[in-house]
Structure 1
Amino acid sequence: MSFFARLVEQLAYLLQPFCHASATAAAIVLFTALVRLATHPLARAAARAQRARTALQPRITELRAKHARDPERLQRAMLELHTEAKVSPFSGLLPGLLQLPAFFLLYHLFSNATIGDGPNTLLDHDLLAAPLGGHWTDALGGGVLGGADLVYLALFAVVAAVATVNFRRARRTAAENPVQAGVPGQGAVGKVAPFLSFLTLVTVAVVPLAAALYVVTSTTWSAVERGMLS
Structure 2
Amino acid sequence: MDFYAFPPIAAVIDGAYTLLMGLAGFLEPLLGGAAAAASVVLVTLVVRAALISVGVALAKGEQTRTRIAPKLQELQRKHANNPERLQRELRALYAEEGTSPFAGCLPMLVQAPVVGIIYALFILPVVNGHPNLLLDQTLLGVPLGHSLVGTIAAGVPQPLDLLVFAGLVVAIAAVGFLTLRAARPGGPLAVPRPAASTAPAPGAPAMPDLSKALLPLHFLTAGIAMFVPLAAGLYLLTTVAWTLVQRLVLRRRYPLG
**Could you tell me the TM-score, scaled by structure 1's length?**
0.81
Is 1:160 the counterpart of 2:173? The answer is: yes
**1:18-44, CA deviations, whole angstroms, 9 ceiling, x for partnerless residues?**
322111111111111111111112212
Most deviating of 102-111 and 4-13: 102-111
Q: Which residue of 2 aligns with 1:209?
A: 230
Q: Which residue of 2 aligns with 1:224?
A: 245
Most deviating of 167-176 and 150-159: 167-176
**1:134-184, CA deviations, whole angstroms, 9 ceiling, x for partnerless residues?**
2121233464672222222122222212222333444544452599x7463
Deviation at 1:67, TM superposition (A): 3.0
| % identity of equivalent residues | 36
Q: Letter of the 2:239 partner, please give it.
A: S
CA distance in 2, matches of 1:80, 1:148: 58
CA contact (8 A) 2:34 2:140 kept: yes
CA contact (8 A) 1:130 1:139 kept: no
Show structure 1 runs of 5+ residues with no match.
none
Cα RMSD over matched residues? 3.2
Q: How does 1:27-176 map to 2 (within 5 A)?
A: 27-69=39-81, 74=86, 77-141=89-153, 143=156, 146-170=159-183, 172=185, 173-174=190-191, 176=193
Q: Letter of the 2:159 partner, please give it.
A: G
Most deviating of 34-43 and 52-61: 52-61
Q: Which residue of 1 aligns with 2:19?
A: 7
Most deviating of 26-35 and 96-105: 96-105
CA distance in 2, matches of 1:3, 1:208: 21
CA distance in 2, matches of 1:17, 1:113: 26
Deviation at 1:206, TM superposition (A): 2.2
Q: How many residues align?
A: 229
CA distance in 2, matches of 1:96, 1:148: 35
Deviation at 1:17, TM superposition (A): 3.1
Q: Letter of the 1:214 partner, please give it.
A: Y
Q: Which residue of 2 aligns with 1:21?
A: 33
Deviation at 1:72, TM superposition (A): 7.2
CA contact (8 A) 1:133 1:209 kept: yes
Sort the Cα spacing of 1:146 and 1:87 in 2 relative to 1 into closer, same or farther, 3 A: same
CA contact (8 A) 2:70 2:194 kept: no
CA distance in 2, matches of 1:100, 1:154: 27
Q: Which residue of 2 aligns with 1:198?
A: 219
Sort the Cα spacing of 1:65 and 1:114 in 2 relative to 1 into closer, same or farther, 3 A: closer
Show structure 2 runs of 5+ residues with no match.
1-12, 252-257
CA distance in 2, matches of 1:171, 1:88: 27
Q: Which residue of 1 aligns with 2:10?
A: none
Q: Runs (4+) of structure 1 moved beyond 6 Å?
A: 187-191
Deviation at 1:60, TM superposition (A): 2.1
**Could you tell me the TM-score, scaled by structure 2's length?**
0.73
CA distance in 2, matches of 1:211, 1:3: 18
Sort the Cα spacing of 1:163 and 1:91 in 2 relative to 1 into closer, same or farther, 3 A: farther
